[in-house]
């Protein structure tokens, strides 16, 4: 019995180190890493068609970002373009596929940060914006503010020439059913229906980092609730001196552990390499009770994509243009 346990223990250790080896690839000269949310994502509950649809979407997103980086475009442009693809796809909990609040509305949050200037922009609780990441960027570049919420954010978007969409645009049958299920459930909240937030981090040829995140938040949230995704330092952070980070998970805990900024701090003040800094920051949220994951890319092209759930939709592309996508552990 004792020996048997040892074999299992050794087996999981080998498995864990092979995962680490797989994901600790060569640093990229330029490139990007994306996520499409972390949570309970298991092979047993996924159809081959659905899995393929997720993979295709992640590849399209990487392709959109890569095309910009490859021709010498900025990491900010790449992040925005990659997130657009995922916001427009109903599979992800961002833009079109945003989850419902308890009241049956959709309230979207997003943020973006420029690692070169430390400029940042965010929107929270918007209900009529098709691509919140683009309005977050407008807040950063065309307003004196960092974050705009609700009606104020939408008025600003309109002023900027953005066409608002009807709230019905965000209705998807699958998300509606998830809300009904969650409302009926008496079980403690699980991360089953939470995954799907999207994020991207990029390093361009000029050596500039950028990060962005976009989400519908959490199913059955109270209206007015804001998670970590639009909060600079919690869900998103970028600094050319350290790294670019985008998080996904239980927002309440990611805010309290200031996860994205902590990754940068651990690199800057403790000299930690990015994989260790990312693991440590994620563990801080887990210690408080929050699960999830993050993507982080440093100024030298090293990256990490840790998560403590059963899966995280994720992918990367480096200078060679070869996109790779993963879902499960």
Which residue in 73, 132, 212, 227 binds ligand ASP (CB under 6 A)?
Answer: 227
Which residue in 134, 215, 220, 308 binds ligand ASP (CB under 6 A)?
Answer: 215
**Residue 84 interacting with ligand ASP (CB under 6 A):** no
Compute the distance between CA of residue 199 and CA of residue 202 in angstroms, rounded to an integer.
Answer: 10
**Residue 175 interacting with ligand ASP (CB under 6 A):** no
- 51 contacts 182 by C-beta, under 8 angstroms: no
Q: Which stretch binds ligand ASP (CB under 6 A): 19-27, 110-118, 226-234, 305-313?
A: 226-234
Judged by CB under 6 A, the number of residues near ligand ASP is: 13
**Residue 217 interacting with ligand ASP (CB under 6 A):** yes
| Continuous segment of H or E residues that includes residue 215 | strand 209-215
Q: Which stretch binds ligand ASP (CB under 6 A): 74-82, 127-135, 215-223, 260-268?
A: 215-223
Q: Which stretch binds ligand ASP (CB under 6 A): 20-28, 129-137, 247-255, 295-303?
A: 247-255
**DSSP character for 43?**
G
**Residue 291 interacting with ligand ASP (CB under 6 A):** no
**DSSP character for 189?**
P
CA 311 to centroid of chain Cα atoms: 13
| Continuous segment of H or E residues that includes residue 141 | helix 132-142
Residue of 140, 135, 147, 148 lying closest to 117 (CA atoms): 140
Main-chain dihedrals φ then ψ at residue 140, nearest 5 degrees? -65, -45
Compute the distance between CA of residue 81 and CA of residue 87 in angstroms, rounded to an integer.
Answer: 10
Residue of 183, 291, 272, 287 lying closest to 228 (CA atoms): 291
Q: Which stretch binds ligand ASP (CB under 6 A): 143-151, 158-166, 189-197, 311-319?
A: 189-197
Compute the distance between CA of residue 43 and CA of residue 52 in angstroms, rounded to an integer.
Answer: 12
- 255 contacts 285 by C-beta, under 8 angstroms: no
CB of 303: closest distance to ligand ASP in angstroms? Answer: 19
- 223 contacts 99 by C-beta, under 8 angstroms: no
**Residue 233 interacting with ligand ASP (CB under 6 A):** no
Active-site annotation holder among 197, 215, 218, 242: 197
Closer to ligand ASP by CB, 195 or 299: give it.
195
Using CA of residue 174, residue 227, residue 68, residue 296, what is the dihedral sign?
negative
**DSSP character for 131?**
-
**Residue 95 interacting with ligand ASP (CB under 6 A):** no
Closer to ligand ASP by CB, 110 or 242: give it.
110
Closer to ligand ASP by CB, 303 or 313: give it.
313
**Residue 31 interacting with ligand ASP (CB under 6 A):** no
CB of 255: closest distance to ligand ASP in angstroms? Answer: 8
Closer to ligand ASP by CB, 175 or 195: give it.
195
CB of 153: closest distance to ligand ASP in angstroms? Answer: 16
Q: Measure Cα distances from 280 to 115, 162, 258, 269, 304 in Å.
A: 21, 39, 12, 14, 12
Q: Which stretch binds ligand ASP (CB under 6 A): 100-108, 212-220, 274-282, 313-321?
A: 212-220
Main-chain dihedrals φ then ψ at residue 234, nearest 5 degrees? -100, -65
Q: Is 213 noted as a catalytic residue in this protein?
A: no
Which residue in 236, 248, 264, 302 binds ligand ASP (CB under 6 A)?
Answer: 248
Which residue in 74, 106, 110, 218 binds ligand ASP (CB under 6 A)?
Answer: 218
Residue of 200, 191, 219 lying closest to 291 (CA atoms): 191
Tell me which residues touch ligand ASP (CB under 6 A). Answer: 37, 194-195, 197, 215, 217-218, 227-229, 248-249, 251
């Amino acid at each position: 019995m004792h020996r048997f346990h040892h074999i299992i223990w050794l087996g999981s250790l080998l498995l864990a180190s092979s995962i680490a080896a797989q994901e600790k690839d060569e640093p990229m000269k330029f490139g990007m890493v994306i996520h499409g949310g972390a949570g309970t994502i298991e092979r047993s509950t996924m159809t081959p068609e659905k899995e393929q649809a997720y993979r295709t979407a992640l590849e399209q997103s990487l392709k959109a970002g890569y095309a910009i980086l490859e021709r010498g475009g900025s990491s900010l442009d790449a992040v925005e373009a990659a997130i657009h693809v995922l916001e427009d796809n109903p599979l992800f909990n961002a833009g079109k596929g945003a989850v419902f609040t308890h009241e049956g509305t959709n309230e979207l949050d997003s943020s973006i940060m420029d690692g070169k200037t430390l400029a940042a922009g965010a929107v929270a609780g918007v209900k009529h914006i098709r691509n919140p990441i683009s309005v977050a960027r407008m807040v950063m570049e065309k307003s004196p503010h960092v974050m705009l919420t609700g009606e104020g954010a939408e008025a600003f978007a309109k002023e900027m020439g953005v066409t608002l969409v009807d709230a019905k645009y965000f209705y998807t049958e699958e998300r509606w059913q998830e809300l009904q299920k969650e409302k009926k459930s008496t079980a403690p909240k699980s991360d089953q229906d939470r995954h799907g937030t999207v994020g991207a981090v990029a390093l361009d040829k000029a050596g500039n980092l950028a990060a962005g995140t976009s989400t519908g938040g959490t199913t059955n949230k109270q209206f007015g609730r804001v998670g970590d995704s639009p909060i600079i330092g919690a869900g998103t952070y970028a600094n050319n001196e350290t790294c670019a980070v985008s998080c996904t998970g239980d927002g309440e805990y990611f805010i309290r552990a200031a996860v994205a900024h902590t990754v940068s701090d651990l690199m800057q003040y403790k000299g930690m390499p990015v994989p260790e800094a990312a693991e440590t920051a994620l563990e801080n949220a887990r210690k408080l009770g929050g699960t999830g994951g993050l993507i982080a890319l440093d100024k030298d092209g090293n990256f990490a994509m840790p998560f403590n759930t059963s899966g995280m939709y994720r992918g990367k592309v480096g200078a060679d243009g070869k996109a790779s996508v993963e879902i499960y552990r």
